[in-house]
Chains A and B, each alone.
Chain A
Amino acid sequence: MSEHTRRQFLEVAAATAAATAAAGLLASPASAARPVVAPARATPGVPGRSPRSPRSPESPESPESPESPESPLPVGPGAPFGSYQSEIYLAGMTAGITPIFTTNLSDLEAAAAEVLSEAARRHLLAWAGGAAAVRANARALSAWRIVPRMFVDRAERDLGTTVLGVTMPAPVILGPVGGQTEAHPAGEIASARAAAGLGLTYVHSSRASTSLEEVAVAALTGQRWFGLDWPDRGGPDPVLLTRARVSGCTHLVISPPQPGQGWEALAAIRRAWDGPIVLGGIQDVRDARRAVHRGLDGIVVSNERGRRGPAAAGTITALPRIADAVGGKLAVLFGSGVRTGTDTYRALALGAEAVVIGRPYVHGLALGGEAGVRHMLRTLLAELEITLAIAGVGHHRDLSPSALVRD
């Protein structure tokens, strides 16, 4: 074989192997459940790029899979979340495939604004408590700065945790957001499937545009909770709660009572629901203690629907005190303003057992349907895992406020 032929042969072999790796990009990294294949958008011939080896995936069926144990790169199913980074670089360098949308989750809202309807944007903003609350939450989160530690053995990278009896591959829950078909025709089905594919828990909203049963069928293997508004005087709808239970929802997340609503409905909810109950919208220690007193199983520290108006200090400000006061007595989750892996890191360090995200995944949904939600989630999890490793944190449970300083 001439030198020229040999060179060509090796280049094609390399490109083929890498194209298989790129195909592995489409598989779930963490769950035994294989998600539906996501269509990655190819951007051939990006101008200004230097020529590289052949990049078209000529033979994606190559038996030489780089996912084999011999591969030095951990990509594909079973690999750590951080391997999404290698997958993206390999796909880019071998097949010219770039991520479906940005990997900077701080830019996601602006990107989604270009595809969302005005009504959908208003809906999402209201869900997060309004523009002022969103700004305050972002400011308050970014004031907490990570102090990385060095030379700490982080060979074992595990984001896994157990929240209220549910084993999770990462401390991230997709919160209850209603009306998701406004963001994308596939709506809640896409979000639930993306969550299930990664093994993450999805909270189905009682205000969803898709029925409990449709979502259950579409994401059968997924861990699902049910998000319910605080009931009116008539008490909770027992049929709805039964449907939630029968369709596989194990936990109930209820929004806090609105002004004028009393706590009487809680007893009726308890009678109609035998699983764990999590109360959202907790913003101060007094409310958190009340939740313990009333026998709730968990709380979400959040400014859900701007219940108390935009707290200028940002919801994260209350978290450390709440975690100090009631942590260990019930599950403390955090659910306001988390957009990135770094934000997740901050909330975990300040006492949350897990974070509940809302708008970021709906922005992902708007930008790319199920593949968009998955890309958003994998980006957040990769960023979280890599940040923990570089900052020298053994496990996220080891995080404490001392991992941060306040600017």
Chain B
Amino acid sequence: MTPPVAAGTIPGDLSQLEAQAADSLSPEALAYIRAGAGDADTTRANAGAFRHWRIKRHRGRKPAEVDLSTTILGTRMPAPVLFAPVGVQTLAHPDGDLASARAAAELGLTYLHSTQGAYPMEEVAAANGDGSRWYQLYWPTDDELAVSFLRRARAAGYTHLVITLDTTLLGWRPIDLDLGYSPFLENKGIANYTSDPVFRRKHMPVPAELAALPAGIAFSGVFQNPGLGWQQLPLVREHWDGPVLLKGIQSPRDAELAVEHAIDGIVVSNHGGRQVDGAIASLDALGPIVQAVGGTMPVLFDSGIRTGRDAFKALALGADAVLVGRPYLYGLALDGQRGTRTVMRRLVDELEEEVRKAGLRSHRALSRSALTRVR
């Protein structure tokens, strides 16, 4: 964690980030980033679930040094914290994912590039440089396009594939719908598609640079893929020789199925509550899934991490690492690349301090006994 923390406009209390960033965002951008499905009850539940756990006070000796480093499926990480795949980051800042990918590289943290990225995966890879990067796939209805995405990702140095399963359709998001706003229909967040030779040849009526809407409509046509199922996995294995993770797992049964299908890892996530309203909190799903998997594959956690304390709790409940999404986007909105870096670094620093206060040298020694359940 070499770069100095820029105090800038990032609030000291990371839970205040959203409120602080709200002023820097257009109503449409704020809506898109904040949006939860339906009444956002799942998004609230995600946050609420963390409040049901308290970190126990440790009265013993505190180590001078804490080592947060870890290795997940062969990827060395200075801390068990990854940049979650986030689409359409230009809504927060013109530099969008390029800035975030640079910030991740500066911190040494792994960056997950979203298929819904605002810049093509090759440009993001260039910005990420020698950094560690994984690729997140929304499986399109056109397998040839999916294979093209995989080939490009491999060529651009993405080492791991994360397939998101919970977004075969876009969730019902009232705050976007009430504004009648969809970034994709104005050619935002579809750069991976419009830069793809297969998409351009087969799906795009006119170049997106000339007319945004037809490109957006063509994108919607290949994006919605509710027919996705386990039977498609062989195609991925055929065209991707690196580790494969499944993102969006909330049921222990699905975690077991992932094991049965020889998947390399899973991400317990409900997409920040953006997909199904009235769903269980992602943190509540974590414990039973960790138990079901029984250490046979790494379990990553996503949905609701706002602070280092939150990360501590997810790790104590059995996650091998956590993904952070909206916070770094708010950092991006407030102060570009520096803002993103500041937020993620502060979160990692907070985590380090919590681990130290718990009397542990490494987060890997964490267990549920570090927490107390409250209602």
A: which residues have CB within 8 A of B?
A: 6-7, 10-11, 13-15, 17-18, 46, 48-50, 52-53, 66, 71-73, 82, 85-86, 88-94, 96-99, 102-107, 142, 144-155, 157, 340-343, 345-346, 379, 382-383, 386-387, 389-391, 405, 407
Pairs A–B under 8 Å by Cβ, sample size 6: A103-B174, A146-B276, A153-B229, A340-B39, A340-B278, A345-B278
Contact status B277-A154, CB under 8 Å: no
Expressed in whole angstroms, the Cα–Cα distance for A103 and B179 within the complex equals 10
Per-position contact with A for B208-240: 1 when CB-CB < 8 Å, else 0? 001111101110111000111111000000000
Expressed in whole angstroms, the Cα–Cα distance for A97 and B251 within the complex equals 39
| Smallest CB separation, B320 vs chain A (Å) | 19
Residues on the A chain within 8 Å of B171, using CB = 386, 390
- Partner of A89 from B182, B229, B277, B280 at Cβ < 8 Å: B182
Contact status B26-A53, CB under 8 Å: no
Contact status A50-B26, CB under 8 Å: yes
Expressed in whole angstroms, the Cα–Cα distance for A92 and B178 within the complex equals 9
Task: Write the chain B residue with the least CB distance to A403.
Answer: B251
Task: Write the chain A residue with the least CB distance to B215.
Answer: A14
A93 with B186: in contact, given A86-B220, A390-B275 (CB under 8 Å)? yes
Contact status B38-A14, CB under 8 Å: no
Contact status B178-A103, CB under 8 Å: yes
A149 with B38: in contact, given A92-B182, A94-B213 (CB under 8 Å)? no
B245 on the interface (CB 8 Å rule)?
no
Per-position contact with A for B103-131: 1 when CB-CB < 8 Å, else 0? 00000000000000000000000000000
A104 with B166: in contact, given A15-B213, A146-B278, A390-B171 (CB under 8 Å)? no
Residues on the A chain within 8 Å of B38, using CB = 104-106, 340-342, 383
Per-position contact with A for B267-310: 1 when CB-CB < 8 Å, else 0? 00010000111111100010000000000000000000000000
Residue of B206, B216, B276 most packed against chain A (CB within 10 A): B276
Task: Write the chain B residue with the least CB distance to A145.
Answer: B280
Top 8 nearest A-B pairs (CB, nearest first) are: A92-B180, A72-B221, A155-B227, A104-B174, A106-B39, A150-B165, A89-B182, A342-B278
Residues on the A chain within 8 Å of B179, using CB = 46, 92, 98
Expressed in whole angstroms, the Cα–Cα distance for A283 and B226 within the complex equals 37
Contact status A88-B226, CB under 8 Å: no
Per-position contact with A for B30-63: 1 when CB-CB < 8 Å, else 0? 0000000111010001000000000000000000
B87 on the interface (CB 8 Å rule)?
no
B177 on the interface (CB 8 Å rule)?
yes
B: which residues have CB within 8 A of A?
A: 26-28, 37-39, 41, 45, 165-172, 174-182, 185-186, 203, 206, 210-214, 216-218, 220-222, 226-231, 246, 248-251, 253-254, 257, 270, 275-281, 285
Task: Write the chain A residue with the least CB distance to B182.
Answer: A89
| Smallest CB separation, B169 vs chain A (Å) | 5
| Smallest CB separation, B223 vs chain A (Å) | 9
Expressed in whole angstroms, the Cα–Cα distance for A106 and B177 within the complex equals 14
Contact status B226-A85, CB under 8 Å: no
Expressed in whole angstroms, the Cα–Cα distance for A385 and B84 within the complex equals 28
| Smallest CB separation, A112 vs chain B (Å) | 16
Contact status A89-B180, CB under 8 Å: yes
| Smallest CB separation, B214 vs chain A (Å) | 5
Residues on the B chain within 8 Å of A98, using CB = 178-180
Task: Write the chain A residue with the least CB distance to B186.
Answer: A52
Contact status B279-A145, CB under 8 Å: yes
Residue of A48, A144, A150, A157 most packed against chain B (CB within 10 A): A150
Contact status B172-A148, CB under 8 Å: no
A103 with B177: in contact, given A383-B172, A390-B168 (CB under 8 Å)? yes
Expressed in whole angstroms, the Cα–Cα distance for A86 and B27 within the complex equals 20
- Partner of B280 from A7, A147, A151 at Cβ < 8 Å: A147
| Smallest CB separation, A316 vs chain B (Å) | 12
| Smallest CB separation, A111 vs chain B (Å) | 11
| Smallest CB separation, B205 vs chain A (Å) | 9
Contact status B210-A6, CB under 8 Å: yes
Contact status B227-A148, CB under 8 Å: no
